[in-house]
Amino acid sequence: MNTQKLKRILIVDDEPLARARIKRLLPQQEGFTCIAEAENAKQAWQLAEQYKPDIVLLDIEMPDIDGISFACELDKLSMPPAVIFVTAHAEHALEAYNANPLDYILKPVSAERLLVALNRAQARVVPAALALEKLSYTMAGVTKQLFINDILYCIAEDKYVRVVTENTSALIDHSLNQLQQMLPQKFLRIHRKTLINSDYFCSLHVENESGTYIKLQGVDEPLDVSRRALPHVKQALQITS
């Protein structure tokens, strides 16, 4: 199964049992996968920045920051995910629609109702950078371009990001987060400083002394994988061991 074609879902709910119920229902919905779950908005924001979900299944009544306020913040992103509210409180419906959600599901969630909401979201979700084939950058006052598919990896260096291809190494005046939003989903965040093109993935090495790293085709040096990113990296690359 090609995980890049799956619609990637982030579940946000402060109740573990509610998250567990949705996770049990999702395997019944072909074409969707849970990439992460969060128990509050702060945690969810970090995961949304890291994993760029297509869809967020979001509770409304949560501590600190409520789901409606959080959905309004998500809507400000350059590529905002589709938001589906999942709540036990029907009285929030009118206020919730100010946050531009795709749907509003009442708990307890049924498989049939979830499928209706997910299909509605699927029709709206557009893959990131669908039309982006080249990346522009300026070197010595001259604007140049790189083909997206030629990029091996991107790595943050001070205020810039170095974009590496087989024949070129260019400094781009974007943050790594900005680049991740611009590039297709096959570009995988393996570390807070590193983004790789999974088309060039060769091998993953998990070692106690030297840490965890990835080898890419055409790249001599190993690229570190952070402990936080490792579970998502394994899932995205379909590594089970």
What per-residue confidence (pLDDT) applies to 209?
66
What per-residue confidence (pLDDT) applies to 74?
86
| CA separation for the pair 9, 32 (Å, rounded) | 7
pTM above threshold 0.75: no
98's CB contacts (< 8 A; 6+ apart) are 68, 72
pLDDT tens, 160-175?
899 999 988 999 887 8
Residue 128 scores a pLDDT above 50: no
Q: Largest Cα–Cα distance in the chain?
A: 59
| CA separation for the pair 9, 81 (Å, rounded) | 9
Instruction: Average the pLDDT over 213-239 and give the result.
Output: 90
* Comparison of pLDDT for 180 and 233, the residue scoring more: 233
pLDDT tens, 9-18?
999 999 999 9
Instruction: Average the pLDDT over 31-55 and give the result.
Output: 91
What per-residue confidence (pLDDT) applies to 78?
57
Question: Alpha carbon 217 to chain centroid distance?
Answer: 24
Residue 127 scores a pLDDT above 70: no
What per-residue confidence (pLDDT) applies to 2?
37
C-alpha torsion sign, points 43, 181, 3, 215? negative
3-state secondary structure of 124: helix
Residue 193 scores a pLDDT above 90: yes
Percent of the chain with pLDDT over 90: 45
What per-residue confidence (pLDDT) applies to 165?
93
Answer yes or no: are the C-beta atoms of 18 and 107 closer than 8 Å: yes
pLDDT band, residue 195 (cuts 50/70/90): very high
Which domains can be identified in the chain, with CATH numbers?
A: 3-124 (3.40.50.2300), 134-236 (2.40.50.1020)
Residue 61 region by backbone torsions, left for phi larger than 0, else alpha for psi between -120 and 50, else beta: beta
What per-residue confidence (pLDDT) applies to 217?
93
* Percent composition of the chain: helix, strand, coil (DSSP 3-state, to 5): 35, 35, 35
pLDDT band, residue 130 (cuts 50/70/90): very low
pLDDT band, residue 92 (cuts 50/70/90): confident
